[in-house]
Structure 1
Amino acid sequence: MRALVLFSFLLVGCLAQRPRKCTSPPLLTGSFSVSTQSERLMAFAKFSYDALGKRIRLREIGSYDNKTFHGDVLLLYREGVMFHINYRNRTCCKKPLNVDFHPLEIPQNASLVGQVVVGSSSGPGQGVLVNTWAGELQQKQGTAKYISTVTEFGCIPVSSLFHTRENGWVITSFFNNVIGLVDPQLLLPPPFCKDAQLEDTDGEEPVTFFSLF
């Protein structure tokens, strides 16, 4: 299943009068929804993000081509491995993760679209100041366009649009974000994964963060 969950192009930050590109907090916990213009995918996920240790945990549920799916993956970039975790059966599938870790940030080629208040600017606490950035990314399949929105203060992701040939525009919306790790244990393999053997992936495309959904 290939609907891109655009996690790594969603952060922007800045100074109040002149928005500038920035990097997200190194530790984040939250949730997001993702859907595609083609209506093939709708999913909800909880995430734990650790840029210091280069680790990401995703637990998700959704529908792809009218089929329901569940997933629980732990990406350990320093070790170069990824675990598919099944708590019901207490099993793990261990695969290579042959890609570099990229912190959540706005790419340097991004252009500022604008700065707006989400909600109301009539009174304190009634709205959130956000910045929107747009740009293009080079991929194996060609150039992909993206539009990302983050909060002005804190560089917290709000939403992102990412265009792919397969699904058109992929829409990601973030919510319930918390700076820090609510449960650090989620970024450690469960005990029953200890003896999992690294699987041979010859003939398969490399596993990356963007091919998980």
Structure 2
Amino acid sequence: MYAAVSLFVLICLTASTHAEQHSCHPPNMTGIMSVLSMKGDVKTYGTFVYDSMGKKLRFRSNETTPTTFNTSLSLDLLVFFEEEILYEIDSKNQSCEKKALHSTMNSLDIPDDAKFLTTVHAGSASVEGEGIKINVWVGTETGTKGFYSMSETMGCLPFSTFYFSGSTTLLFSHLDIETEIKDPDLLMIPSFCQGLPVEETPEGTVNSFFNEFM
């Protein structure tokens, strides 16, 4: 974890000027996502499905966590970013919480207003087939004012995201990505969640994808 943070700091310090670049958006995806805190503990680990066109995301940590990980969060989230709605799902108890979403940012899709920082190589840039070119983007999350650094490989596939908010720092890593939605039903609202009213948000609370992992 500390090595990853050091890499981020190094990128910031050594970033050079490039021609203007514009952020891109990923294709449909299925993969694995892990979330680590600055302290080095694994917050959660699970599978995700992302509909790039519909701006829909499902993340499930239950039943996917390796026994070697001592995670602190068990989550089942269904997020409709365009509708600004987030569902916290409890399939075991057949229940849901439906929340108004105050930010449409997530770790998989670079915002249009993100600023390009630099391009780096993971591995060796001098040996053919050994290096991965990574573009790094930075910005501030609207609504929460959290700062982020997002990296993506060629083809706009998400690599990792650092998210900083107050005293909290999270690292989102995206693994084993396949550019397809293997199970579209995961992006459907479960029958026991349908028709629910949006819950009132307590004063001072911000509902966002990132805050679910705090």
Give the structure-1-normalised TM-score: 0.71
Q: 1:143 to 1:94 in 2, by over 3 A?
A: closer
> What is the RMSD of the two structures over their aligned residues, measured on CA atoms?
3.2
Separation of aligned partners in 2, 1:74 and 1:52? 16
Question: Residue in 2 aligned with 1:130?
Answer: 133
Q: CA deviation at 1:74?
A: 0.7
Runs of 4+ more than 4 Å apart: 100-103, 106-109, 138-143
Identical-residue share of aligned pairs (%)? 23
- Contact 1:54–1:101, Cα closer than 8 Å, also in 2: no
1:113 aligns with 2:118: yes
1:149 pairs, out of 148, 151, 168, with 151
Separation of aligned partners in 1, 2:204 and 2:85? 15
Separation of aligned partners in 1, 2:150 and 2:105? 19
Q: CA deviation at 1:156?
A: 0.8
Separation of aligned partners in 2, 1:87 and 1:113? 42
Unaligned 5+ segments in structure 1 are: 1-16
- Report the AA paired with residue 104 of structure 1: D
- Contact 1:21–1:106, Cα closer than 8 Å, also in 2: no
Give the number of equivalent residue pairs: 189
Q: 1:21 to 1:45 in 2, by over 3 A?
A: farther
SS at match of 1:74: strand
Q: 1:205 to 1:183 in 2, by over 3 A?
A: same
Deviations 1:166-195 (A, max 9, x none): 22x422221011112111111101122224
- Report the AA paired with residue 116 of structure 1: H
Question: Residue in 2 aligned with 1:22?
Answer: 23
Instruction: Name whichever structure is richer in strand by fraction.
Output: 1
Separation of aligned partners in 1, 2:122 and 2:42? 29
Deviations 1:104-160 (A, max 9, x none): 12654524433325367645xx4353223243426566572x4332212x1111123
- Contact 1:98–1:208, Cα closer than 8 Å, also in 2: yes
1:80 aligns with 2:102: no
Where relative contact order (Cα < 8 A, 6+ residues apart) is larger, the structure is 1
- Report the AA paired with residue 44 of structure 1: Y
Q: 1:38 to 1:97 in 2, by over 3 A?
A: same
Question: Residue in 2 aligned with 1:158?
Answer: 159
Separation of aligned partners in 2, 1:73 and 1:143? 21
Separation of aligned partners in 2, 1:141 and 1:207? 9
- Report the AA paired with residue 159 of structure 1: S
Separation of aligned partners in 2, 1:20 and 1:183? 33
Unaligned 5+ segments in structure 2 are: 1-17
